């Protein structure tokens, strides 16, 4: 395979440089001081950390002249620490990222397109690669996919005598179905989890309207206040009908703790969900979101990507590590779906048979989205410095509406104005 060949050639070159010739008087057996050390970090749960460390150990085994120092982290505070490291010229060589434009615009990312002799992208969908490109340059390599899906508990539908929703189900029909199912659910349970404060769910809704989070040129939001009003009002009506949990239940998982979500606690019959998030048990099944037929909003969204520090002292070795993690079949088997379905199509197909039934559903859903008409091209990466818009800012305004502190129209106008100020400050 190309990956192994490139890595082997790299190691051979490094070894030759380290050993020198037989006649130069050096002790050819003492080369440990010439070993390359790479530093690497990522965020994620313990399962992701364990799998990634195992894959890195395999890379070190195959590349004995490269040592990799790993620093797994939680998402909370990850970027604060990374930004501090960049400011003090102490950033890792390889790191996990999901805001390519922000770092590329600061000149902090290595242009991976210049390393096509080490990095193979031939098995990765162009839609994935587009999410890692800025000004037509490839600055990151997607590590996995996490497209939005509708997850359901079929047993709840069977008990109520209802058919599962499909891509042809409109948002209005979906709301009516949730209300009907709610009438069959015991107290303490709900038909549907509340998605009103979740930016990736809102994005699907926008894209079905041929809009998106940001304009194509990144100079403004890609939607207007009425779009946000419609979204918040949709979920407010479902809360009033009792078909989604009350505000205090919904916000319990707002800090990113998925173990507190209504899905993890089996409190709901349906939810919109990212496919890189582990479901609690095998009762759940994956399917398309409402209103996807004919004009889908879902795309093959990458969960996160691997990036290389532009100032790394060992660019070839760092890129070889990224290539190994994404393209090596053995690494793919180790990593499984810890970052979502592998972006390398051949590896995604090869690992499928070894997955459990629930994980196989995820791969099949991604395969479904890869078929013509079932998804649409990915948007360009978010403009630099706008991460806060889709995270803290959207959550803050959504919760004000959720708890009745502001009406949807007032909150939407204020959100749009504040977001535009932040975008303008970055231009």
Are residues 293 and 172 in contact, defined by beta-carbon separation less than 8 angstroms? Answer: no
Are residues 290 and 192 in contact, defined by beta-carbon separation less than 8 angstroms? Answer: no
Give bridge partners of residue 140 from the DSSP assignment: 307
Confidence of residue 257 (pLDDT cuts 50, 70, 90): low
Q: According to the 3-state scheme, what is the secondary structure of 170-198?
A: CHHHHHHHHHHHHCCCCCCCEEECCCCCC
Torsion of the alpha carbons at 303, 309, 315 and 321, rounded to the nearest 10: -30
Query: Is the pLDDT assigned to residue 398 strictly greater than 80?
Result: yes
Query: Is the pLDDT assigned to residue 2 strictly greater than 90?
Result: no
pTM of the model: 0.85
Are residues 214 and 383 in contact, defined by beta-carbon separation less than 8 angstroms? Answer: yes
The whole-number average pLDDT for the span 394-421 is 97
Q: Going from the N-terminus, what domains does the chain have, and what CATH number goes with each? A: 2-18+35-144+303-370 (3.40.190.10), 148-298+385-425 (3.40.190.10)
Cα(79)–Cα(244) distance, integer angstroms = 33
Which runs of E-coded beta strand occur in 188-254? 190-192
Q: What are 194-220's pLDDT values in tens digits?
A: 999 999 999 999 999 999 999 999 999
Query: Is the pLDDT assigned to residue 253 strictly greater than 70?
Result: no
Residue 192 main-chain phi, psi, to 5 deg: -150, 140
Are residues 67 and 60 in contact, defined by beta-carbon separation less than 8 angstroms? Answer: yes
Query: Is the pLDDT assigned to residue 427 strictly greater than 80?
Result: no
Query: Is the pLDDT assigned to residue 254 strictly greater than 80?
Result: no
HSE (CB half, 13 Å, CA atoms) of 94?
A: 28
Residue whose pair of structure tokens reads 């995604």 in the numeric block = 348
First to last CA, the chain: 44
Query: Is the pLDDT assigned to residue 17 strictly greater than 50?
Result: no
**What is the predicted pLDDT for the residue at 11?**
39
Are residues 346 and 123 in contact, defined by beta-carbon separation less than 8 angstroms? Answer: yes
């Amino acid at each position: 395979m190309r990956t192994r060949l490139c890595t082997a050639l790299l190691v051979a070159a490094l070894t030759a440089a380290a050993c020198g010739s037989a006649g130069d008087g050096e002790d050819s057996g003492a080369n440990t001081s010439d070993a390359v050390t790479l530093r690497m970090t990522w965020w994620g749960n313990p399962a992701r950390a364990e799998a990634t460390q195992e894959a890195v150990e395999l890379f070190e085994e195959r590349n004995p002249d490269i040592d990799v120092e790993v620093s797994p982290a939680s998402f909370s505070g990850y970027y604060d620490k990374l930004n501090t490291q960049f400011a003090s010229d102490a950033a890792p060589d390889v790191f996990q990222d999901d805001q390519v434009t922000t770092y590329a615009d600061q000149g902090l990312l290595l242009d991976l397109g210049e390393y096509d002799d080490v990095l193979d992208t031939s098995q990765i969908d162009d839609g994935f690669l587009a999410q890692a490109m800025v000004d037509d340059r490839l600055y990151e390599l997607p590590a996995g996919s996490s497209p939005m899906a509708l997850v359901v508990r079929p047993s709840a539908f069977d008990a109520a005598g209802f058919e599962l929703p499909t891509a042809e189900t409109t948002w209005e029909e979906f709301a009516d179905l949730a209300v009907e199912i709610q009438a069959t659910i015991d107290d303490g349970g709900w038909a549907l989890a509340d998605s009103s404060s979740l930016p990736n769910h809102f994005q699907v809704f926008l894209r079905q309207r041929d809009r998106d989070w940001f304009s194509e040129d990144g100079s403004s939001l890609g939607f207007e206040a009425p779009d946000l009003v419609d979204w918040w009002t949709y979920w407010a009506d479902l809360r009033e009908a009792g078909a989604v949990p009350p505000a205090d239940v919904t916000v319990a998982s707002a800090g990113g703790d998925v173990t507190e979500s209504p899905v993890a606690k089996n409190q709901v019959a349906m939810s919109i969900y990212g496919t890189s998030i582990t479901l609690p048990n095998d009762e759940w099944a994956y399917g398309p979101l409402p209103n996807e037929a004919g004009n889908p909003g879902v795309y093959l969204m990458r969960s996160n990507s691997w990036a290389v520090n532009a100032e790394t002292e060992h660019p070839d070795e760092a890129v070889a590590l990224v290539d190994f993690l994404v393209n090596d079949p053995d690494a793919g088997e180790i990593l499984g779906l810890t970052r979502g379905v592998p972006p390398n199509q051949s590896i995604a197909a090869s690992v499928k048979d070894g997955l459990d039934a629930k994980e196989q559903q995820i791969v099949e859903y991604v395969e479904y989205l890869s078929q013509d008409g079932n998804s649409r091209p990915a948007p360009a990466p978010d403009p630099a410095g706008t991460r806060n818009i889709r995270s803290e800012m959207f959550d803050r305004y959504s919760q004000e509406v959720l708890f009745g502190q502001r009406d949807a129209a007032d909150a939407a106008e204020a959100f749009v104005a504040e977001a535009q100020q932040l975008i303008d400050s970055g231009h």
